[in-house]
Chains A and B, each alone.
Chain A
Amino acid sequence: MSHRLSRRTALKLLGAGIAAAWLTPHLSLANSGALLRKSIPDGGHLPVIGLGTWRTFNVGRDPQLLDARTEVVRAFFEHGGGLVDSSPMYGSAPDVMGYALDKLGTPDSLYTAEKVWSPAGGSTREQIADLADRWGVDRFDLVQVHNLTDWREHLDVLQQMKADGEIAHVGITTSHGRRHDQIELIMREHDIDFVQLTYNITHRQVEDRLLPLAKEKGIAVIANRPYDGGGLIKNLKRRHEVPEWATEEFDCRNWADFLLKFIVSHPALTCAIPATTSVEHVIENMAAGHEPMPTQATRERMIRHIASL
């Protein structure tokens, strides 16, 4: 793939690095190591923990919850966060991001990831313009085709917009393990920068074909549902203690560390996007992006441990 890194994107990614480097020593919950960043097409880097907005940011016009979510966004950026992912399918989530950015200002580290969905019907540019207006941003860094809806038409338009410098990156998404054959075909035959899919310690189907293919093609990978919709971490927190060997081997202090470090330590993974309504949890999530990370042998032990519970 041939990609050009726009000056704007390069400056933003550089800014993100400087901001995180400055913020890292102030983290009360962070591991001793640096916040891990991974490369994306065109030469930039992203922090390995992003912020999802499905369900959590759909608060409508509730002033109390708008302010509460703004605090979540504030904590995310204060702890070095970059990528925020949303969708027109997520109700008022894009408006809530617009509210938060209006209150907080737009940090240099922000990497905006949005989606387009069906019906396409010539509406791709219109959808993106509407979403940019709701976020209050000039343009998005990444626009993805949501769950492959009308993907041929959307991808054609997105590629043109990328060529015209209207967006930086193009991607496709799936979740819950759906339509992997189609995803694989698009990854093989089309020039995309990102693929978003479900990957967590209990849903690892993508390890067989999609993650190796992404690595081979230089496609950045966003992992959605890192806590399997919240149920995985809730059950673990309720019933089990983090194993001592995990603490010894990669400084794992809680289940957020355990689950997120497992995901982002995969060589093909770029970023995980846990969603949360809690400032405490977003700080916990961001701390999980810090080194040390588990080795391949430790990752296998982690899988065996979860399977044994």
Chain B
Amino acid sequence: MNGWQTYRLEDFIPFTPDIYWRLLERINETFWPLHILAVAIGLAALLLALRGNKRIALALLAPAWLTSGIIFHLTYYAELNWAAPWFGWAFIAQTALLLAVAFFAGSIKTREPSRGLSTWIGTTVAMVSLLGYPLISTTIGPGLSHAETYGLHPDPTAIATVGVLLIILRGPTLWLTMLIPILWCVIGSLTLIAMDATGALIPLAAVTIIAGTSVARSIKSAAK
């Protein structure tokens, strides 16, 4: 046996679950109460998106990618996973991308907020990620001390971001800005699956709902 078929998912995860849960706990111990500020900024971005202030909403999403990229990936996760610096730089690239899209928001395809299904879905996903994910993540890990929060941990950051993006963007810009969040959610879910964690599919399910809604909206729009 020489091929890739001999590898299993867990062969790519160089740590045990208890080590990963401790990493989440250490971040929470060190940075509390930054969590409150991060979630407040995320809620402000969602509110502004719903009120049609796209430029500021996009700009407010960017800091969460910078902080979770630097704190989670480059500072902590890099101690455990050789790929973490790559993830960290991808998060910093997403920061720059969101700021660039915010800067050019007047000249690119955006979407006026509506009360349509996609707005409801985007809002629900973002709200659940911003406010509910710390509680949901206690079902993934061993307890509240390991809870994951928007702006510090990558999974809720990516999920809330795609929710807000679905509300305000459309077309290629939407897909371009969702690329890194979607890729991260796939990696995040695979990491949790490899650790046999309950709720491992939550990040993947969230981006599947958002991507599916976006595709359905595009098809509906093309049919008109």
Contact = CB atoms under 8 A, between A and B. Distances in A.
Whether chains A and B associate is yes
Interface of A: 54-56, 58-62, 64-65, 89-92, 176-180, 229, 277
B176 interface: no
Contacts of B19: 58-60, 62, 65, 277
Given A65-B19, A65-B22, A177-B1, A58 B14 contact: yes
Interface string B97-131: 00000000000000000000000000000000000
Given A91-B80, A91-B81, A60 B13 contact: no
B15 A277 contact: no
Given A55-B16, A91-B81, A178 B6 contact: yes
8 interchain residue pairs of minimum CB distance = A60-B79, A177-B1, A176-B6, A58-B15, A91-B14, A55-B16, A58-B14, A60-B80
B22 A178 contact: no
**B interface bracket (residues with beta carbon within 8 Å of A):** 20 to 34
A208 B13 CA distance: 31
A278 to B, nearest CB: 10
A55 B2 contact: no
Interface in B5-21: 6-8, 10-11, 13-16, 18-19
Interface string B75-87: 0100111100000
B209 interface: no
Contacts of B22: 59, 62, 64-65
Nearest to A229: B10
Contact of B15 (A55, A178, A229): A55
A96 to B, nearest CB: 11
Interface string B10-52: 1101111011001100100000000000000000000000000
14 contacts: A55-B14, A56-B16, A59-B19, A60-B23, A61-B79, A62-B19, A62-B79, A90-B14, A91-B81, A91-B82, A176-B1, A178-B1, A277-B16, A277-B19
Max chain A C-beta neighbours (<10 A), residue from B6, B16, B23: B16
Given A62-B26, A92-B80, A179 B18 contact: no
Nearest to B79: A60
Contacts of A89: 14
A176 B22 CA distance: 29
Nearest to A56: B16
A204 B28 CA distance: 45
A95 to B, nearest CB: 10
A28 B155 CA distance: 45
A102 B23 CA distance: 24
B180 to A, nearest CB: 24
A180 B6 CA distance: 13
A254 to B, nearest CB: 21
A60 B2 CA distance: 31
A83 to B, nearest CB: 21
Contacts of B82: 91
Nearest to A61: B79
B56 to A, nearest CB: 37
Contacts of B2: 178-179
Given A54-B14, A56-B16, A62-B19, 14 more contacts: A58-B15, A58-B80, A59-B19, A60-B76, A60-B79, A62-B23, A65-B18, A65-B19, A65-B22, A91-B14, A91-B15, A176-B11, A277-B18, A277-B19
A274 B224 CA distance: 63
Contacts of A179: 2
Contacts of B81: 91
A62 B7 CA distance: 29
